[in-house]
Amino acid sequence: MKRILSLLPSTTEIAGALGLAEQLVGRSHECNRPAAVLGLPIVTEPKLDLEAPSRAIDERVRALVREGLSVYRVDAELVRRLAPDVILTQTQCEVCAVTPGDLEDALREWLGAKTRPALVVVEPNTLQDVLEDFARVGAGCGVPARGAALRDREGERIDAIARGSAAVARRPRVACLEWIDPLMGCGNWIPELIEAAGGCSVLGEAGAHAAWSSLDELLECDPDWLVIAPCGFDLPRTHAELPPLTAQRGWSQLRAVREGRAVLVDGFLHMNRPGSRIAESAEILAEILHPECFDFGHAGRAWAPFGPLASDA
């Protein structure tokens, strides 16, 4: 059996969905699904305070990137001791997780050795990329048939939602936020998920990285729905980070806010995590946008209306 080290929450979930959880020997500091991985050694740590406010996190990340520094540290000695046969990592975003560049020092330990770990690198820019990464991880871990089956299964779930939403009378205009302070619109696969769920994305471009925006731009497009799903934040954290946005002049003028169509989504487990539950993100969006057609039971757990959370009431 291959010894697998996963440095990305999404690839850790994919490994679990492929029946490889018992072969995982280590994880990143953010990997939390499946629950069995929580006891595994952690080989990475961030160079910033993840509990800091959104603005402070953004400023620290920008400073590190400007200086040509990695946002994460890799414990090279621990990686060497774990002796993985396969390392799962990504090139999609230097902010979201450890990249191959972050691994250079650790992998240098294998130079001159008879064997070095194989790198399986995912790069999910589009929805199809996300699905193909399931097959890529499966092949890299020695279970290609399982990877292809997972790709096909999740793809069919999303296709079924798209077929169900095709008959809706009106496709609402949707703005999805990936960051709150400063404001950032979602890109990559999320506009495609919005489309599959029966909406039309108006902030962010499919296949492109998330783009910086502003409340003025949000007011200009004035969407029917506002979906707030900051990358890396759960619902309570998202709720706590809202004041810098909601205190701005013009917030209450947004159509989605005035008409009660602003929602919070767990951006840590959904939307921004291109793992084996990607179809759940499509389900969440579908039941938000078209509750008359879809009810997958995600309300209250994965998403909630804008306003006080139940735990605050």
Q: What are the tens digits of pLDDT across the range 277-290?
A: 999 999 999 999 99
Contact 69, 36 (CB under 8 A): no
pLDDT class for 103, splitting at 50, 70, 90? Answer: low
Rounded to whole angstroms, how far apart are CA atoms 15 and 6? 8
133 Cβ neighbours under 8 A, 6+ residues apart: 10, 11, 14, 122, 123, 124, 274
pLDDT in tens, 228-257: 999 999 999 999 999 999 999 999 999 999
Please report the domains of the chain, with CATH numbers, ordered by start residue.
4-123 (3.40.50.1980), 151-312 (3.40.50.1980)
pTM (2 d.p.): 0.91
pLDDT, position 258: 95
Average pLDDT over residues 155-184: 95
124 within 8 A of 130, measured Cβ to Cβ: yes
d(CA 261, CA 137): 38
The enclosing H or E element of 185 equals strand 184-185
Residue 100 in this model has a pLDDT that exceeds 90: no
The C-alpha R_g of the chain, in whole angstroms, comes to 20
pLDDT score, position 58: 81
Q: How many angstroms separate the CA atoms of 180 and 243, rounded?
A: 9
Contact criterion met (CB below 8 Å) for 225 and 261: yes
Instruction: Write out the H or E segment, with its range, that includes residue 46.
Output: strand 44-46
Q: Count of CB atoms within 10 A of residue 69's CB?
A: 10
Model confidence at 102: pLDDT above 80: no
